[in-house]
């Protein structure tokens, strides 16, 4: 069995960033990354691809090109982790032993999680920036009016803001192509607010009202019928007073009651985020929470990012059970904590740094040329980048933040973060 001092599962945002940072600290470290992917994708720009304002090709590079020099790339799927034996089992049946392990395999799209979704996706106006943003753009371009339904599942998802960012861009686009007057834009969410942090929710409600978007809270998507072009929702509010519906004048969107606490909304286009969960091999291994609301997600201390049961194992990114938004921005703050603490454990240097405070950020694009930069930490506590907040009020829609999203952040990702410099 081959052995590496440090094995990283996943060569995405988290895995590559951690490997690069480790090598910058000590270029002699023996690091292997397990990842079967040919391509590495800058996913945050898929929102812009879906709105026709960014080229898909610019979001994709070869995995080989982002692999840090000096790392051994094992181009395979991990299929099991056996932490008691310090080894990872590969799909091929081979085993890789490790001294220390970093787990960062991202999140899994569960296309079977909603009946009808798999059949509906990618045709008949059913699109997702999480799956194929170029099809989203095609749908927006060809839209002739009617119900434009935007929605999201009740599971955790990566970049929780993405399902509404594309809606605001679509609203702008519908105005531009002259179909806004004959369009109902609907946002149906299982949540009870437009955004969890008040300062940003206030601004987003202004955007919602500017476009006359119909907001439907406590709507849990249960089924899609692509033949009837209807999305079926269970209403989850425990009492009627919670059933607030914003900008819905006398039910003009034509929703129907179809059973006890069930509603059907007809759509002419539908954008959604598929249900998501931790990759199956994580769910099934000992490193995952075995019970409770985090069941199946990687179990790590929310501040040190170390496994509570295995001192030589750390985790970060979308697969981890951290009570904050799953974003690349969060990983930017998680990676240095993983690196510092991993080196600490390797050198037997006592106390770990409980330095990760849940920081995450969501660049909420609210239209072409407009963005609100929402930054927050554990408990939805608002946070601000000290440099940016010196110059701009990030709770307001800003052209400068749009420029940051379209040009600044991709540069920061490819040239700084993946190289371990930011
Ligand atoms: C539409 C959209 C918009 C987004 N917008 C933003 C945004 O504006 N800002 C932001 O910060 N974030 C955004 N994100 C989220 C961000 O891209 C993710 O949170 C981030 O990439 C997660 O990093 P990760 O390392 O956990 O997973 P990933 O980057 O997804 O990498 C996971 C890696 O693990 C590999 N892998 C999977 N299974 C296995 C296995 N069994 N064995 C080995 N390797 C495996 C995969 O091939 C992949 O390379 C967005 C995402 C989407 C889809």
Q: What is the CATH number of the domain that holds 250?
A: 3.50.50.60
Task: Please give the pLDDT value at position 240.
Answer: 67
Q: Is residue 321 a part of any domain in this protein?
A: yes
Domain extent, residue 46, equals 2-107+278-352
Q: Is residue 12 a part of any domain in this protein?
A: yes
Q: How many domains does the chain have?
A: 2
Shared domain for 29 and 149, answered yes or no, is no
Shared domain for 45 and 87, answered yes or no, is yes
Separation of CA 97 from chain center: 30
Residue 361 has phi, psi (to 5 degrees) of: -145, 155
Q: Poorest-confidence range of 213-217, 229-233, 258-262, 340-344?
A: 258-262
Provide the 3-class DSSP secondary structure of residue 183.
Answer: strand
Ligand 1 pocket mutation, candidates 44, 107, 167, criterion most atoms within 8 A of CB: 44
Which residue's CA is the nearest one to ligand 1's atom 15?
327
Shared domain for 95 and 138, answered yes or no, is no
Ligand 1 pocket mutation, candidates 75, 200, 328, criterion most atoms within 8 A of CB: 328
CA of 47 to the centre of ligand 1 (A): 14
Task: Please give the pLDDT value at position 241.
Answer: 63
Kind and range of the H or E run holding 230: strand 230-235
Q: Is residue 417 a part of any domain in this protein?
A: no
Shared domain for 170 and 243, answered yes or no, is yes
Q: Is residue 289 a part of any domain in this protein?
A: yes
Shared domain for 200 and 295, answered yes or no, is no
Considering 327, 352, 377, which residue would you say is the last residue of a domain?
Answer: 352
Task: Please give the pLDDT value at position 161.
Answer: 96
Shared domain for 153 and 205, answered yes or no, is yes
CA gap 245, 131 in Å, rounded: 29
Would you say the CB of residue 413 lies under 6 angstroms from ligand 1? Answer: no
239 has a pLDDT exceeding 80:
no
* Token pair 């694009």: residue: 365
Q: Is residue 46 a part of any domain in this protein?
A: yes
Would you say the CB of residue 410 lies under 6 angstroms from ligand 1? Answer: no
Q: Is 159 a catalytic residue?
A: yes
413 has a pLDDT exceeding 90:
yes
pLDDT of 55-107, one tens digit each? 999 999 999 999 999 999 999 999 999 999 999 999 999 999 999 999 999 99
Shared domain for 174 and 30, answered yes or no, is no
Q: Is residue 347 a part of any domain in this protein?
A: yes
Ligand 1 pocket mutation, candidates 7, 9, 10, 300, criterion most atoms within 8 A of CB: 10
pLDDT confidence tier of residue 298, bands split at 50, 70 and 90: very high
Residue 152 has phi, psi (to 5 degrees) of: -150, 160
Considering 291, 323, 352, which residue would you say is the last residue of a domain?
Answer: 352
39 has a pLDDT exceeding 80:
yes
Q: Is residue 396 a part of any domain in this protein?
A: no
CA of 1 to the centre of ligand 1 (A): 29
Beta-sheet pairing, 95-103 with 2-9: parallel
Shared domain for 179 and 44, answered yes or no, is no
Q: Is residue 357 a part of any domain in this protein?
A: no
Shared domain for 262 and 285, answered yes or no, is no
Which pTM was predicted? 0.97
Would you say the CB of residue 281 lies under 6 angstroms from ligand 1? Answer: yes
Kind and range of the H or E run holding 222: strand 219-225
Considering 208, 240, 275, which residue would you say is the last residue of a domain?
Answer: 275
CA gap 119, 117 in Å, rounded: 5
Shared domain for 178 and 153, answered yes or no, is yes
Query: Could you give the percent of the chain with pLDDT greater than 90?
Result: 91
Q: Is 362 a catalytic residue?
A: yes
Q: Which atom of ligand 1 is least distant from the CA of 43? A: 17
Shared domain for 128 and 271, answered yes or no, is yes
Shared domain for 57 and 190, answered yes or no, is no
């Amino acid at each position: 069995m081959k052995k590496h001092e440090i094995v990283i599962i996943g060569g995405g945002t988290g895995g590559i960033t951690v490997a690069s940072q480790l090598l910058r600290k000590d270029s002699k470290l023996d690091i292997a990354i397990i990842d079967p992917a040919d391509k590495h994708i800058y996913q945050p720009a898929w929102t812009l691809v879906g709105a026709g304002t960014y080229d898909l090709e610019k979001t994709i590079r070869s995995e080989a090109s982002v692999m840090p020099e000096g790392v051994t790339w094992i181009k395979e799927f991990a299929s099991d982790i056996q932490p008691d034996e310090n080894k990872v089992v590969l799909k091929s049946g081979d085993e890789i032993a490790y001294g220390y392990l970093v787990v960062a395999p991202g999140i899994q799209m569960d296309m079977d999680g909603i009946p009808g979704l798999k059949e509906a996706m990618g045709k008949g106006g059913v699109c997702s920036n999480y799956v194929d943003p170029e099809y989203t753009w095609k749908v927006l371009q060809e839209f002739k009016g009617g119900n434009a339904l935007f929605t999201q599942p009740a599971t955790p998802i990566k970049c929780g803001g993405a399902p509404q960012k594309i809606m605001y861009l679509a609203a702008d686009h519908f105005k531009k192509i002259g179909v806004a007057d004959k369009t109902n834009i609907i946002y149906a969410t299982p949540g009870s607010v437009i955004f969890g942090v008040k300062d940003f929710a206030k601004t987003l409600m202004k955007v919602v009202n500017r476009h006359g978007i119909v907001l439907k809270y406590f709507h849990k998507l249960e089924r899609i019928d692509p033949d009837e072009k209807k999305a079926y929702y269970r209403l989850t509010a425990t009492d009627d007073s919670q059933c607030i519906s914003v900008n819905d004048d006398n039910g003009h969107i034509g929703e129907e009651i179809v059973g006890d606490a069930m509603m059907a909304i007809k759509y002419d286009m539908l954008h959604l985020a598929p249900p998501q969960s931790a990759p199956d091999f994580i769910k099934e291994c000992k490193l995952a929470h075995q019970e409770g609301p985090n069941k199946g997600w990687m179990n790590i201390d929310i501040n040190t990012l170390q496994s509570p049961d295995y001192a030589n194992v750390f985790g970060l990114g979308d697969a981890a059970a951290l009570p904050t938004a799953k974003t690349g921005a969060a990983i930017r703050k998680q990676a240095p904590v993983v690196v510092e603490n991993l080196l600490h454990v390797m050198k037997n240097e006592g106390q770990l740094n409980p330095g990760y405070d849940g920081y995450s950020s969501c660049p909420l694009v609210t239209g072409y040329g407009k963005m609100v930069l929402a930054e927050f930490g554990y408990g939805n506590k608002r946070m601000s980048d000290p440099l940016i907040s010196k110059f701009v009020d990030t709770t307001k829609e800003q052209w400068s933040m749009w420029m940051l999203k379209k040009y600044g952040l991709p540069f920061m990702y490819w040239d700084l973060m993946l190289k371990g410099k930011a």
